[in-house]
Structure 1
């Protein structure tokens, strides 16, 4: 695994090296500050003041160089504009603009590397001293008129240069037709590869998103916030197989259908076996209980194979669904719950995500991630809709076929067909050899050597040293102590070690993810009981309601991903979505007035849609603030998020069953109360860490 500092240096433009933010030097200073505070040589106030000054100087150096380069590019564009009337060769002129565009790409890369380095060093400082520094630094600099911080992240001047090059290249295209100018033409896909590259680079800097990107954020595929080296960009091509990706997406779709196909009939099934309707909470939640454990062993299994865990998943799900269907004729609620537990033990979503993360080439990984989420959303909508269609009642030999047992039989057949397809078409990718892993691990100095070398550096830079901070001698000095010991870069090897890597900001994002999954599970799992009690809805009506909720996922993500996320910061959308979830919960309570269908449907829609928006933004922020050690390995950020969401579903379903003992008339308010408390807690926690989500 190449350390971030080394990878950053590989991506730097050599002639501009002295103008980059000196990540290595600042990282070294952070370590030195930590040591000095431990021995009592410095207090925190002095460290904050000193490091803030250093960071301000580094940012100012970078921004002044950025402005200088912007001016040079703008001057070249102005000169070319004057030459357009003189140069008759369109191809020559177009190539001249492309040359300016290529130089602009270098400048965009310069800004991106500096922005990533700045966020990395802020995260590293927070890890050593608590998140308070990022909170203080962003709060005091983000909108101050003298601060250069916004230039690193917003770089308004570059947008003008991007627009000028794009406009001129488009204007020089031969396909002008009868339009007076390019502004009169309908927006068409960009035709010039240089312009495409510029647009992609500018979008990365602005965190601009489109539908696929925003949707892909829901996939829980955690990646480090750094630029891959060219060799790493090609590493997945040999492992990628389209049909294998399709099989993983098929597994995702079938599993989500399997999860929600029983929701409209679970209360009726429980009643037919002699249990209370609210036992549906246990029946639905049993799958999530087993998934808490299956996520871990499937994630570990995917370190060695993808094919074998998918085969195991299909077999277990086939057996589990058959048990679910047979429980009716056995007249056993225990067999029913055991069947759902068995289905949960077959949850291979960790394998599906891991395949996309490890085997899909970087250039199409976002589309694959969006496909994963789309498959989940379609499965979520198709499950209840399919249940609404399975309104049949007859006996086949000694087996009862009705609306309660048919979901089990249909899914058993579905998994059997999938297993055959998997066996015929899946191709196991090659896995890295242990020798290569060992060779990669044996790099870098020991921690003792690193600290010892770091301690000999002065705490404060003199003015002369600051002026030479990016010279060759200083770089060589930093190189000697930059590389962290391998132990500090290895992936977490247990849930406990992964938890210890969580900063307050990450914990808050996991709390938000827990909250939104809890709210959604309460809404969906108790829908059949609530609507039957208050409105006497049939199974078909419940199925239609749940299917309609599921069908909102893709349209909502189109709107948010293509428009809203480009108008507001992620943290602003996060806070607004939490407020909307809160409003939806408040509107759902049954207080005094008769409970009506419009009240239930509107409040449910607000909760569900807001939670969907919240999920994409939450996971985007989570990947940004999470330690790079949690971007890989078995116990990665995706697994932690999955566990948080799964535990939320388990607790929500248990709440429904426990609340059922107080009667169906109290079920709605009692289950909404914890949702309200958790939602308010997540809103307060978001306010507490708001400035660290930058």
Structure 2
């Protein structure tokens, strides 16, 4: 591992040393507080007041420097704007090119300032967490609540970069105009061709998105993939876009994702009919649907481990197992065996290669297009979720070939078996296994280009980020102690077990995982019991249920489009999170059968309300989760993606088990009985969010 000092020198601006947050000094002060409290010298009130004053001073030092640099940049832009105005009156191509380069230089300097700002923002988050961990006080909630909401808040300057947006906009506007009008001043043969958009603008927009809650459709959609990336604003390496990767292999991973989601939901409209035809109760459909999720709990772990060594072999194994599972599912009718039906679904769950699909994007796709690939992963999942039920609605045939029955119950199994067989052949012919060393190097290099403040901070800062030689000599003994403490508490090694991964979870992360569990539970209850509920209350056919579920699935992309382009640009992630949880509660309450007549309008409107709010909740939940989760959980087998997948999968298992168990109380009570846990979970998660609200800053 690269030595801490070397990584730090590569990451920081040497000339701005004294303006960084003095992390080392604050860490020492926390250590002194702990010793003095243990000796009974200090009281809780004095510690809170003293450390708050210290933080105020450090933030003020950073903010005043930030404002000074911001003014210098604005002055330079104003001078360049006057220059541009003169060139518009008397065009001169050579001067236009020079002017454009000057704007790019200002953009690079602004990017450096944003980089400085983000390091300090992460430093503040880090020291607040260390204070709470060491002393056990709920300091973050107190400090953020009193400082962030004050009209003269300097904390907002650090976390929201108030005013810098105008500077970013001015640079982007001028570069865009100079590029758009490049051919109006001289012949196009006298100048080099330019890209559609300047790389500096890409970098600035990415930096602004990280420091604010503003985003866009692709960013918001990509968050659902929960491919954790640790990145700080840095000039985009244009060569990164040219890194060779295999497009067909990426496409095969996305097709695997699409087919798996279609496989999951294609049986939902007909699962109750299938269960009854084999002599079981309609509510056993919960067990049939949930069997796939049960197996996925285990398959997620071994596929995540397997992807450390290969991508091709796990995908081959996944395709074979899913082919066999669907054949067994289809044959269960002619064998008249509910056991074969359940085993077939278990096999389908054992073939869940979503961990491989996600890992392939993280390791093998260049950084420049990783966001688009992540959004493609989520889009493939959403389309699969919509196409599965829609396909089931079209399979309204009944015929026999030899002894095999083909009807609306068995055709989903036969169709998916055929799809997986075709996919397997395509995989064998077209997939290119990347070298593990190359894939790992691509991942390391892309993340190294954007070395993170989290990486720097979790090994301990040196005052002020880069200490002088004299200070280093004076504090050598204490620095060694700090390094050993950091090494013991925050090793850079990935978690090597679920237990060690769990120990890395802070209260904020646990609340985010609880929210993820809740939203997956609520959505699974809505989807899995839809065929039974609609059949009982409205006498819907399989086709009607399929249309309803397909419409829900198709809502995913439009909802993310609206949230990503508009809502998330107006409100903070934590505000959207809390509002979405409240709407989920309202939707669940509205779903209860309280009045004598339960109408289609009530069921559909409440279902849409729950599904849409849960979908919005998923995006912001995973965005916040990636922000508050330890960087150690961005690598290895037991990573953050696995933890979130396990939380969601267990939620689906519990939801499907709830439907099956509630069936013993009678179908007439099924709706209300299954909605009670959904309501309790949504209420509990809402209060948990309120409790940790200020730690989501």
Instruction: Tell me, yes or no, whether TM beats 0.5.
Output: yes
Q: Which residue of 2 aligns with 1:595?
A: 598
SS of equivalent residue, structure 1 residue 224: coil
Q: For residue 361 of structure 2, what is the aligned residue in structure 1?
A: 356
Q: Which shows bigger deviation, 1-10 or 381-390? A: 1-10
Shift of residue 37, structure 1, vs aligned partner:
4.8
TM-score norm. by structure 2 comes to: 0.88
Of residues 195-204 and 560-569 in structure 1, the stretch that sits farther from structure 2 once superposed is: 195-204
Task: Report what 2:678 is aligned to.
Answer: 675
State the alpha-carbon separation in 2 of the partners of residues 43 and 10 from structure 1. Answer: 41
Query: How far 1:102 moved relative to its partner?
Result: 2.6
**How far apart are the structure 1 equivalents of 2:245 and 2:473?**
39
Q: Does 1:335 align with 2:337?
A: no
Partner SS, residue 400 of structure 2: strand
Q: How far apart, in 2, do the equivalents of 1:331 and 1:478 lie?
A: 77
- Aligned counterpart, 1:485: 487
* 2:278 corresponds to: 273
Aligned equivalent of 2:523: 520
Indicate the residue corresponding to 2:125 in structure 1.
119
CA drift of 1:520 comes to 0.3
How far apart, CA to CA, are the structure 2 residues paired with 1:581 and 1:67? 42
SS of alignment partner, residue 219 of structure 1: coil
- 2:420 pairs with one of 415, 418, 439: 415
How far apart, in 2, do the equivalents of 1:423 and 1:39 lie?
Answer: 68
Structure 2: distance between partners of 1:530 and 1:343: 25
Q: Is the 8 A contact 1:222 1:638 kept in 2?
A: yes
Q: Does 1:385 align with 2:385?
A: no
Give RMSD over aligned pairs. Answer: 3.1
* Distance change >3 Å, CA 198–CA 72, structure 1 → 2: same
**Match of residue 136 from structure 1:** 142
CA-to-aligned-CA distance 1:88-123 (integer Å, 9 cap, x gap): 544143333333223222222222222222223333
| SS of corresponding position for 2:305 | helix
Residue equivalent to 1:402: 407
Q: How does 1:474-553 map to 2 (within 5 A)?
A: 474=471, 480-481=479-480, 483=483, 484-485=486-487, 488-553=491-556
Corresponding residue number in structure 2 for 1:686: 689
- Alignment partner, residue 245 of structure 1: 250
Change (3 A) 1:173 1:253: closer
Deviation of the 1:234 alpha carbon: 8.2
- Check 1:469–1:426 CA distance in 2 against 1; reply closer, same or farther (3 A cut): closer
Range with bigger deviation, 114-123 or 293-302: 114-123
Instruction: Mark the CA change 1:199 to 1:668 in structure 2 (over 3 Å): closer, same or farther.
Output: same
Give the aligned partner of residue 448 of structure 1.
none
Query: How far apart are residue 615 of structure 1 and its match?
Result: 0.2
Distance 1:380 1:302, change over 3 A: same
Q: How does 1:187-226 map to 2 (within 5 A)?
A: 191-224=197-230
- Provide, for residues 249-280 of structure 1, a one-character-per-residue CA deviation record: whole Å limited to 9, x for no partner: 11111100110000000000000000000000
Partner deviation per Cα, 1:208-259 (whole Å, 9 max, x = no partner):
211111011111222336568999x989987832222111111111100110
SS in structure 1 at match of 2:229: coil
Q: Following the alignment from structure 1 to structure 2, what is the Cα–Cα distance between the partners of residues 241 and 664?
A: 51
Structure 2 portions without partners, runs of 5+: 185-194, 442-459
Instruction: Give the Cα–Cα distance (whole angstroms) in 2 for the partners of residues 605 and 140 of structure 1.
Output: 38
Distance 1:57 1:677 in 2: 44
Cα distance per residue 1:54-87 (max 9 Å; x no partner):
3222211111111111121222233334445656
**Could you give the per-residue CA deviations for residues 514-538 of structure 1, whole angstroms, max 9, x where no partner exists?**
1100000000000000000000000
1:2 offset after TM fit, Å?
A: 5.4
Deviation at 1:339, TM superposition (A): 0.6
CA distance in 2, matches of 1:228, 1:27: 27
Contact 1:18–1:471 (CA under 8 A) maintained in structure 2: no
Rounded to whole Å, the distance in 2 between the matches of 1:563 and 1:5 is 42
Contact 1:321 1:409 survives alignment (8 Å): yes
Deviations for 1:553-589, whole angstroms, at most 9, x for unmatched residues?
0000000011101100000000110011111101111
Secondary structure of the structure 1 residue equivalent to 2:432: coil
Q: Aligned pair in 2 of structure 1 residues 356, 34: CA closer, same or farther (>3 Å)?
A: farther
Shift of 1:470: 6.1
Distance 1:551 1:521 in 2: 16
Contact 2:199 2:236 in 1 (8 A): no
Q: Is the 8 A contact 1:316 1:343 kept in 2?
A: yes
Match of 2:572 in 1: 569
Deviation at 1:166, TM superposition (A): 3.1
Distance in 1 between residues matched to 2:180 and 2:501, nearest whole Å: 56
| Residues 27-51 of structure 1: CA deviation (Å, up to 9, x unaligned) | 4544554565556665544443333
Count of paired positions: 658
Q: 1:241 to 1:33 in 2, by over 3 A?
A: farther
Distance 1:421 1:5, change over 3 A: farther
Greater mean deviation of Cα atoms: 113-122 or 245-254? 113-122
Structure 2 match to 1:164: 170
1:308 has 2:316 as partner: no
Per-residue deviation, residues 670-693 of structure 1 (Å, max 9, x unmatched): 000110011100011011000100
Cα 1:247–1:27, aligned 2, differ >3 Å: closer, same or farther?
Answer: farther
Q: Which residue number corresponds to residue 444 of structure 2?
A: none
Q: Distance in 2 between matches of 1:277 and 1:380?
A: 22
What residue in structure 1 maps to residue 325 of structure 2?
Answer: 320
Give yes or no for contact 1:239–1:430 (8 Å, CA) kept in 2: no
> Are the structure 2 counterparts of residues 85 and 431 from structure 1 closer, same or farther at C-alpha, using a change threshold of 3 Å?
closer
Matches within 5 A, 1:14-93: 14-31=14-31, 33-34=33-34, 37=37, 43-84=43-84, 88=90, 89=92, 90-91=95-96, 92-93=98-99
Q: Is the contact made by 2:207 and 2:233 (CA closer than 8 Å) also made in structure 1?
A: no
CA distance in 2, matches of 1:263, 1:191: 46
- Match of 2:408, SS state, is coil
Distance between the aligned counterparts of 2:567 and 2:24, measured in 1? 36
Hey, what's the Cα distance between the residues in 1 that align with 2:472 and 2:670? Answer: 65
Q: Structure 1 pair 314/5, CA: closer, same or farther in 2 (3 Å)?
A: farther
Report if the CA contact (8 A) 2:241-2:367 is conserved.
yes
Answer yes or no: is the 8 Å Cα contact 1:493–1:635 preserved in 2: yes
**Does the residue aligned with 1:395 lie in a helix, a strand or coil?**
strand
When structure 1 is superposed on structure 2, of 323-332 and 26-35 the one drifting more is 26-35
Cα 1:660–1:333 shift into 2, 3 Å? same
Q: Compared with structure 1, are the counterparts of its residues 192 and 341 closer, same or farther at alpha carbon in structure 2 (3 Å cutoff)?
A: closer
Q: Distance in 1 between matches of 2:4 and 2:11?
A: 11
Residue matched to 2:447? none
Distance 1:5 1:392, change over 3 A: farther
Q: How big is each residue's C-alpha offset from its partner over 1:384-415, in whole Å with a ceiling of 9 and x where there is no partner?
A: 00101111111110111111111111111111
CA contact (8 A) 2:14 2:466 kept: no
Structure 1 residues 285, 424: closer, same or farther in 2, change over 3 A? same
Partner of 2:629: 626
Deviates more, 1:32-41 or 1:571-580: 32-41
Between stretches 345-354 and 77-86, larger displacement belongs to 77-86
TM superposition score normalised by structure 1: 0.88
